Amino acid sequence: MDSLKDFISKHHHLFNQEPLPAGHEERFFQKLHSQSPNRVPSVQRKPFNFQRLTGLAASIALLLISGFCIWKVVISSHLTPYTLKEHQIEAKILQNYQNRVNTLEQHIKQYASTIPFSDWEQIEDTLEFFAQNRDLLAESLPPETPFPMRLVALEEYYNQNLTAIQQIADLFAQNIY
């Protein structure tokens, strides 16, 4: 036995042969309004599927966790604990250098009263150059330079600068300037 829907689908051509009688739309809407409001055609809803919702939530959580893990791996590959240790060693060497420069500069300033102001300006510019360019070598070394070579180069650079400042301080101390 065919349902009404199947009958209409099979005989669709019969419904389009003759024009519909006048006023058919008005009669349809009157019948529709005369029906009780509780008798509105119901739409079949699918039951709420907790399994589907749980699966969706698990997928989102998996994506977030895997994204976080990938991000951590990328970040940690750039800053491993070993390179952090290297950075700490470099910072300590730089701090020691800066402390020694400051100490020598204080000694030189003690002797500054014995020299003319124009000469002091030149010495002060030299000291300022050493203080401002302390990171010059560290910034210009390529990042792929092995740490032991980098360390030797930085120590040598800082020692040369300290030697020059020490010579200036020694000249003042001996009143040779």
Measure Cα distances from 68 to 43, 57, 63, 73, 124 in Å. 43, 17, 9, 9, 52
Percent with pLDDT over 70 in the chain:
82
pLDDT digits (tens, 9 = 90+) for 114-124: 677 777 777 77
pLDDT tens digits, one per residue of 134-152: 777 777 778 777 888 888 8
The pLDDT score that the predictor gives to residue 177 is: 47
Encode pLDDT of 17-33 as tens digits.
777 778 878 888 888 77
How long a stretch of residues is the chain? 177
Map out the domains of the chain as residue ranges. Answer: 80-173
Residue reference for tokens 């919702």: 53
In the block, tokens 């491993």 appear at: 80
Q: What is the dihedral of CA 90, 92, 98, 99, to 10 degrees?
A: -160
Exposed / middle / buried, residue 62 (Cβ in 10 Å: 0-12, 13-18, 19+): exposed
- Mean pLDDT across 58-66: 83
> Looking at residues 170-175, what average pLDDT do you find?
74
Q: Please give the angle made by the CA atoms of 122, 124 and 130, to the nearest 5 degrees.
A: 110
Specify the amino acid at residue 151: L
Question: What pLDDT was estimated at residue 83?
Answer: 74
